[in-house]
A and B are shown apart, each in its own frame.
Chain A
Amino acid sequence: MNLTLKVWRQAHKNAKGKMETYQMKEVSPDMSFLEMMDVLNEQLMAEGIDPIAFDHDCREGICGMCSMFINGEAHGPDRLVTTCQLHMRKFKDGDTITIEPFRAKAFPVIKDLTVDRSAFDRVQQAGGFVSVNTSGNTQDANAIPIDKHDADKAFDAATCIGCGACVATCKNASAMLFVSAKVSQYALLPQGKVEATDRVLNMVKQMDEEGFGNCTNTGACEVECPKGISLENIARMNREYLSASLKG
């Protein structure tokens, strides 16, 4: 199929960016979206144009490195997939596709479609862990039975890949879904409960300092999340935060 691509080009962090238009011919519907971008880049290089910078690594939907805002949606039109898992069969011959970076104050553009999401790392460094040394001298793994339902919910929260689609989608650029997923994972497990109070207070404080916006419960993040992280986690984090504030 033949496509028209409108792509955000920005040379570096402080440069002024703009949309550029490129034509693509004979795109196979079996290609992934990023393979289509590879072909476009080969085409651009052959024409002496700087290839488009975009983040990607595992190309199987788990590393969370790929981003891209495609036709106004984080990771494009398909549901429960990352951009690398999006296939061209989701588009039609003659389509115009608009491709922009994930935009948020806390995610500055590095180049073209590549953004800096290290704010997420700093939020995790503020408390996204259990303070246990890696000596191996802990108790036996089966010493504390955990209710299967809690374990499964903790797992569901833990599957967040830290891609930032929730932030890019939210009109307030809020990181509540991301932060609450981590808070929930630990809040649901006995190992995480010990320092639950400090964790939620510290992580939320860091989230605010990074410049993420507030949550106004639109639920858009849940819709666009490639891993289907539930809004329930935000509710849980709010409860955790409230009870931690009362204790603190």
Chain B
Amino acid sequence: MAKLDSKTPKGPVAEKWTNHKGKINLVSPANKRLIDVIVVGTGLAGASASATLAELGYNVKTFCFQDSPRRAHSIAAQGGINAAKNYQGDGDSTYRLFYDTIKGGDYRSREANVHRLAEVSTNIIDQCVAQGVPFARDYGGLLDNRSFGGVLVSRTFYAKGQTGQQLLLGAYSAMNRQIGRGKIKMYNRHEMMDIVVVDGKARGIITRNLVDGKIERHSAHAVVIASGGYGNVFFLSTNAMGSNVSAAWKIHKKGAYFANPCFTQIHPTCIPVSGDHQSKLTLMSESLRNDGRIWVPKKLEDVKAIREGKLKPTEIAEENRDYYLERRYPAFGNLVPRDVASRAAKERCDAGYGVNKTGEAVYLDFASAIMRYGKEQAHVKGLDENNEALVKKLGQEIVKAKYGNLFQMYEKIVDQNPYETPMMIYPAVHYTMGGVWVDYNLMTTIPGCYAIGEANFSDHGANRLGASALMQGLADGYFVLPYTIGDYLADDIRTGPISTDLPEFEKAEAAVKAQIEGFISNKGSHSVDYYHRKLGKIMWNKCGMSRNEKGLKEAIKEIQELREDFYKNVNVPGNVNEFNEQLAKAGRVADFLELGELFAKDALERTESCGGHFREESQTPEGEALRDDENFTFVSAWEYKGAPSKAELHKEELKYEEIEVKTRSYK
């Protein structure tokens, strides 16, 4: 395959997108009716792309594995969405959002893409309000903002702790309008099993109807993958149970390069693991760090007493608490970026200061925020500011209005009241910055196959800032892909419908059937989850928050062995032609078992530390991540060559024309 070409337009970074849009090919409204587009996934990226493509006039077929497009895991995003609106007048601008995102990503993302993202961010908010998304407002009726990690302005728009839900339901409603008009044909409970490439172009997909097991062929002039990230390779993550890498992995195996697989975000504030039965982890939104202060006890004897249940955290005096983020990073304090906050929590817990039975938890404390808000309220209402009980009650009401659903979630899971005692939190796998390599037009290395949202690698470099995933998903789907795809489809206006009787469809379908029949006839002795859990343990222990050469080499070997054992000994009950969750899961875990190896290989190759990728061999004396710009200012794009171990590395050099590459500091 040819050398990697990012197709970044020429000219100053601030003008690239405008110029590019003005020059690319368009498809006339009459011709759009002759063109079919497949979209896989209905999260923010997939739903917004489906709706917009249909509005433009394309015939869209959209697929999701859930029972309704509204269930996609974007729905669970809590804290908010960034936009450079500068409504607060605190000095925000497109440039500042662009700069913060590049810096937050530890200088490993593509400048032109990130600038475009910052440019369209403001349109997203306008669009969503017009759709009836009920963002939080102040008493003057205008939109409210909050702050997120790694920035010094308030640019995050939110709807309590359910921003993802409200944005997704907005995109879902836009889709519904087009489904009602017949411009989108929606396929619920369908899983993409493979992509079909004809004459070097993406021309369709093979799906399995999860209700009756039927294998189906679907053709189109272009295929858009919007299937999300691969955090579930760790088994335990904040992703939904069904979130998987399969669509992205299948296109990788048919020619799409996979970029930076080792760039994974471990989110600092999640509810700690409670036992071996655990099936997933629950996030506590980063927005909580606006008001919550993170600490562990200063004295080891206090830690011991807490673990034994002899001491309550509220009984520890202020001077005996170590607010370690405020101590280490005075400028950003509790709002340092996620990778920094996670490593700092691990550092304290590894040193023995973890506050729960497993030693893997720190406190997130709202006591001072409750008192601060309470005093303010008492003052506004003309009540006694020195009445502690009253102030506490008033403060709790404000905190409830801001984060009520998160506090309720915490209480249901942990069985403790976070209004009265600090939350216990610990880092967990949350998001994957790596993904399918795409050029500036969001096209993969398979012509006609696009990847958008978390499924691609493009905008977040080695670490994503909070509230930027929603922004990227909707930017890609509403405002970028619908334009850039026209440039490619302009050549297809005379092509006519693609036949599903082509030999390429037949071959792809036969391979899919062989794989699933293989699973059913295997009659092994271990369940699919048995393998998934084992894979997750390897990934967490050796490819998690810190990585080293020895561990990564072991991980590669262990994953290879586990994969071999999986094909020999996995047990998938039931039949092919029925609703069979275990069978669906087997296919997904098979792909994770391959991706996991490439992940470790990528992490081994990148001997520097950057963002969420921390190599123990590359750190400063203070334990901060140490980049190696001379040797690693590139995107690793892996080409599939028959097995993950044989994958070939291609490098996309990253050039910083607008922003000076510096050591990232939040001190």
| Segment 133-175 of A: residues with Cβ below 8 Å from B | 133-136, 138-142, 145-148, 151-152, 154-155, 158-159, 161-162
**Tally of chain A residues near chain B (CB < 8 A):** 77
Knowing A63-B240, A148-B137, the reply to whether A81 touches B412 (Cβ < 8 A) is yes
Q: How far apart sit A159 and B67, CA to CA, in the bound complex (Å)?
A: 19
Nearest Cβ distance between residue B160 and chain A, in whole angstroms? 7
Q: Is the CB of A63 within 8 A of B127?
A: no
Do A110 and B579 touch (CB < 8 A)?
yes
A contact face: mostly helix, strand, loop, or mixed: loop
Whether, in the assembled complex, A244 has its beta carbon less than 8 Å from a beta carbon of chain B, the answer is no
Tell me, yes or no, whether A233 is within 8 Å of chain B by CB.
Answer: no
A155 to B413, CA, bound (A): 24
Q: Is the CB of B176 within 8 A of A116?
A: no
Q: Which of A183-191, A213-221, A234-242 contacts B (4 or more CB under 8 A)?
A: A183-191
Count of A-B residue pairs with CB < 8 Å: 212
- A89: interface (CB < 8 Å): yes
Q: Is the CB of A142 within 8 A of B579?
A: no
Q: Is A101 positioned at the interface, with any CB of B under 8 Å from its CB?
A: no
CA gap between A186 and B478 in the complex, in Å:
22
Query: Which chain A residue has the least Cβ–Cβ distance from B479?
Result: A136
Q: How many Å lie between the Cα of A61 and that of B180 in the bound state?
A: 28
Whether B313 sits at the interface, judged by CB under 8 Å, is: no
Contacts of B137 in A (CB 8 A): 145-146, 148, 151-152
Asked whether any CB of chain A lies closer than 8 Å to the CB of B87, the reply is yes
Q: Is B492 an interface residue (CB 8 A)?
A: no
Interchain CB contact (< 8 A) of B412 among A46, A48, A85, A191:
A85
Asked if A93 is at the interface (CB within 8 A of a chain B CB), the reply is no
Which residues of chain A are near B160, meaning CB under 8 Å?
155
| CA gap between A45 and B138 in the complex, in Å | 54
Decide: A62 and B134 in contact? CB cutoff 8 A: no
Nearest neighbor of B276 in chain A, beta-carbon distance: A28
Q: List residues of chain A with CB within 8 A of the CB of B128.
A: 141
User: Is B141's CB under 8 angstroms from A30's CB?
Assistant: no
Which of B68, B75, B124, B134 sits near A151, CB closer than 8 Å? B134
Which residues does chain A contribute within 8 Å of B665, judged by CB atoms? Answer: none
Decide: A45 and B573 in contact? CB cutoff 8 A.
Answer: yes
- Chain B residues whose CB sits within 8 angstroms of the CB of A62 once the complex forms: 75-76, 162, 164-165
Bound Cα distance A162, B143 (Å)? 26
Choose one: A38, A118, A133, A155; the contact of B166 (CB below 8 Å): A155
> Interface 1/0s, chain A 55-78, versus B by CB < 8 A?
111111111110000000000001
Chain B contacts of A189 at CB under 8 A? 132, 134
Contact of A191 among B67, B131, B278 (CB under 8 A): B131
Q: Is A192 an interface residue (CB 8 A)?
A: yes
* Contact residues of B between 222 and 279, Cβ < 8 Å to A: 238, 240-242, 274-275, 277-279
Residues of A within 8 A of B497 (CB): none
What 1/0 mask marks residues of chain B from 115 to 143 whose CB sits below 8 Å from any chain A CB?
00000100111111111101111111111
* B279 in complex: contacting residue of A11, A32, A87, A185, CB < 8 Å: A32
Q: Which of B71, B136, B283, B571 has the most CB of A within 10 A?
A: B71
Q: Which of B48-56, B360-368, B424-432, B637-645 contacts A (4 or more CB under 8 A)?
A: B48-56
Q: Which residues of B contact A114 (CB under 8 A)?
A: 579
CB nearest to A36 among chain B residues: B277
- Given the known A-B contacts A58-B76, A59-B280, are A129 and B141 also in contact in the complex, defined by CB atoms under 8 Å? no
Bits for A106-131, please: 1 = Cβ < 8 Å to B, else 0. Answer: 00001100101110110011101111
Complex: A189 Cα to B277 Cα, angstroms: 44
Q: Is B169 an interface residue (CB 8 A)?
A: yes
A136–B415 touching, CB < 8 Å: no
**Interface flag for B633 (CB, 8 Å):** no
When each residue 568-583 of chain B gets 1 if its CB lies under 8 Å from chain A and 0 otherwise, what string results?
A: 0001011000110110
A121 touches B241 (CB 8 A): no
| A55 contacts across to B, CB distance below 8 A | 67
Residues of A near B579 (CB, < 8 A) are 12, 53, 110-111, 114
**B25 within 8 Å of A (CB atoms):** no
Which chain B residues border A159 with CB–CB below 8 Å? 162, 165
Chain A to chain B contacts (Cβ below 8 Å), 17 pairs:
A38-B529, A50-B573, A51-B573, A51-B581, A57-B73, A57-B242, A59-B241, A124-B173, A138-B129, A142-B143, A145-B140, A145-B142, A147-B141, A155-B159, A189-B134, A191-B130, A191-B132
Residues of A within 8 A of B (CB): 11-12, 28, 30-32, 34-36, 38-39, 42, 45-46, 48, 50-51, 53, 55-65, 78, 80-81, 85, 87, 89, 110-111, 114, 116-118, 120-121, 124-126, 128-136, 138-142, 145-148, 151-152, 154-155, 158-159, 161-162, 185-186, 189, 191-192
